[in-house]
Amino acid sequence: MPEGDTVFLACKRLHQALAGQPVTASDFRVPQLATADLSGATVLEVVPRGKHQLLRFSPADRDADGEPLTLHTHFKMDGTWHLYRPGATRKGGPDFQVRVVLTTPDWEAVGYRLPVVELIPTAQEHTVVGHLGPDLLGPDWDLDEALRRLGSAPERTIGEALLDQRNLAGIGTLYRAETLFLSGIHPRTPVAAVPDLRAVVERARRLLEANKDRPDQSTTGDLRRGRTAWVFERARQPCRRCGTRIREEAFGPRGQERKAYWCPRCQPQKVAEPSRSVTGDHGPSLRP
């Protein structure tokens, strides 16, 4: 699933292309919006909220009593937005995978395989993103609030807590794995046992910040193929620091298990006290 930095960059590019532009045509290819029409509206801005995309529009001229609208989309695993010049050949996938097309005088914005496509009043955005915790790349980032939310379930594993978007928005399996490796913390460590939770969160934010303006993600400082990550998707390969084989394990709430990667030497698992034992199969749902 694309993480916060990928969504940030996608929204930045959409905003640069579309903001201030009138919509000359719109085509929604999802049943609930089959009759929706944004033509005549103006794109006000495109902003990210964690892993969500919010495209905001002024009312169309024909809607004298209309209210600003927001197109809310989410990539989940396979979604993406592409920008094309009018008349250009589309290369984002077959036509049947298109969910949205927004046309302006200069651009066509085409949303492929978007599993979430909702058109809501802008004043009601809280109904779709209000559950999210502080956005690591947001202008209103609040470290103390993120720490408060993480600490509200001290027995939960840090691996699960970092993925829960209600605690802080933007981290996925890549940045979880890399942040915990660089912090020397096993992903099954209880939140309460993390020596410096503030430092862990600050490190995650620095990694996202370092990658938010480029399509290629790297946590090692090396953009060469095969050299961009310390442990993520490197199971059974040698640790770049100590040579120990990297391990992987899928864990989390039942039905929502996600893969974790770690070095058993650089990130040793400490045995929890019986009163603070945890499992990866129960606990709060990880909301996208």
Contact 108, 86 (CB under 8 A): yes
- Of 2, 48, 134, 187, the active-site residue reads 2
Residue 145 bears catalytic tag: no
- Of 49, 51, 56, 176, the active-site residue reads 51
Burial class (CB within 10 angstroms; exposed 0-12, middle 13-18, buried 19+) of 177: buried
Residue 90 bears catalytic tag: no
Q: Which two tokens mark 196?
A: 């410096």
- Of 3, 108, 160, 178, the active-site residue reads 3
Contact 203, 184 (CB under 8 A): no
- Count CA within 13 A, CB hemisphere, residue 28: 18
Residue 259 bears catalytic tag: no
Calculate the CA dihedral of residues 90, 174, 144, 254 and round it to 10 degrees: 100
Looking at residue 216, the DSSP 8-state letter turns out to be S
Determine the Cα–Cα distance for residues 122 and 116; give it in Å rounded to an integer.
16
| Sign of the alpha-carbon dihedral angle for 166, 180, 235, 263 | negative
Residue 3 bears catalytic tag: yes
- Of 188, 205, 258, 288, the active-site residue reads 258
CA–CA distance from 8 to each of 168, 248, 260 (Å)?
15, 28, 24
Q: Which two tokens mark 152?
A: 């509200």
Contact 237, 227 (CB under 8 A): no
Element of type H or E holding 103:
strand 98-103
Contact 191, 150 (CB under 8 A): yes
Determine the Cα–Cα distance for residues 230 and 222; give it in Å rounded to an integer.
10
Q: Which two tokens mark 251?
A: 């864990």
Q: Among all residues, which ones are annotated catalytic?
A: 2-3, 51, 258
